[in-house]
Amino acid sequence: MRLILQNGTVFEGESFGAASNAAGEVVFATGMTGYVEAFSDPSFAGQIVVLTYPLIGNYGVPDKSTWESEKMQIAGLVVANYSATYSHHDAVQSLAQWCKASGIPALHGVDTRAITKVLREKGSTLGQLITSGAPGAFFDPNTENLVAKVSPKEVKTYGNGPIKIIFVDCGAKENIVRSLIRPETTIVRVPWNYDFSKALVLSNGPGDPTMCGPTVENIKKTMAAEKPILGVCLGNQLLALAAGAKTYKLPYGHRGQNVPCTDVETGRCYITSQNHGFVVDESTLPSDWKPWFKNANDRSNEGIMHASKPWRSVQFHPEANPGPTDTAWIFDRFLADLIAAKI
């Protein structure tokens, strides 16, 4: 089996997934654990994921109760060493079995450090996983509206508390919903282009945020009504676009569970879980908006906030899973905004 990068570089190894080919954007992720949650995260739609941690598969795959969506979302997988023998009390299948059942090709026995070095120096690139036959055409998933593909088609409600929250699912991780469910809340989960105007939580999701025009226009309606808004990951970019700012693509993105971010207000640094390729251009924020968090490594934006309105968002994942729980307080702060606004 081969991984072929757009620049012509080829990495050969052994297949342990589906006997199929795949094309997409090749990206790397640095997490030591949490591959089940990462592979089922819709933010990875269209991407061939290279894991930098060398030993993958040793704890198997649990049932769907801990997945971040209903299925495996990645386009393909590349690891250094696949562990065919797994051991965990929650495991119901091996990673290879999950890949094969999901139709996802997976490659192991390659130098993932060398691949990551290429991506770090040259930026994320297009690539193909070839199990058999000749290579096909390269495919850039960011040219499509990936959010429309992964967002649900129907409205779903959780809980029956007095505080109603519209959760705009642009490809959401399930743990955001789990983090918002409280005795005092009712969560109404809606598609990416649903016409909403209540208090909002904007989810994570894949691809270029500028593809989500209807979502941005609906966010503007909520802002006009001055309702509280919380954005997560893609939600940070969508809120920025609704405010009038711009976004841009990072060279190779931030994907891992150990990314340090600094709270601009307090100066405190948090370890965060991240998965994104686009980011907000702080220089384009209107005068009544300001940065909330910054990436401690490259100083790129990790969150924005309005100077006086209850509108905030973060580029990382405060719901964690996988990842640290350092920033789980952000959901509590949003609920406090809802109570103060008497939603």
Q: Say what the pLDDT of residue 196 is.
A: 85
pLDDT at 252 over 80: yes
Q: Say what the pLDDT of residue 199 is.
A: 82
pLDDT at 341 over 90: no
Residue with tokens 């091996």: 94
pLDDT at 197 over 90: no
Q: pLDDT-derived band of residue 59, with 50, 70 and 90 as boundaries?
A: very high
pLDDT at 342 over 90: no
Of 149, 175, 178, residue with least CA distance to 257: 175
CA distance 333 to 50: 35
3-state class of 101 per DSSP?
helix
Q: Say what the pLDDT of residue 321 is.
A: 86
**pLDDT single digits (tens) 134-173:** 999 999 999 999 999 999 999 999 999 999 999 999 999 9
pLDDT at 310 over 80: yes
Catalytic machinery residues: 233, 317, 319
Give 342 or 72, the one with higher predicted confidence: 72
CB atoms within 10 A of CB 264: 17
Q: Give percent of the chain with pLDDT exceeding 70.
A: 100
Segments making up each domain of the chain, as ranges: 2-143, 147-341
**pLDDT single digits (tens) 96-141:** 999 999 999 999 999 999 999 999 999 999 999 999 999 999 999 9
Q: Say what the pLDDT of residue 198 is.
A: 78
Q: Say what the pLDDT of residue 224 is.
A: 94
Residue with tokens 């094309």: 23
Report the chain's mean pLDDT, rounded to a whole number: 96
pLDDT at 288 over 80: yes
Q: pLDDT-derived band of residue 194, with 50, 70 and 90 as boundaries?
A: very high
CA distance 85 to 73: 23
- 2-143 maps to which CATH number? 3.50.30.20
- 147-341 maps to which CATH number? 3.40.50.880
User: Which residue type sits at 267?
Assistant: G
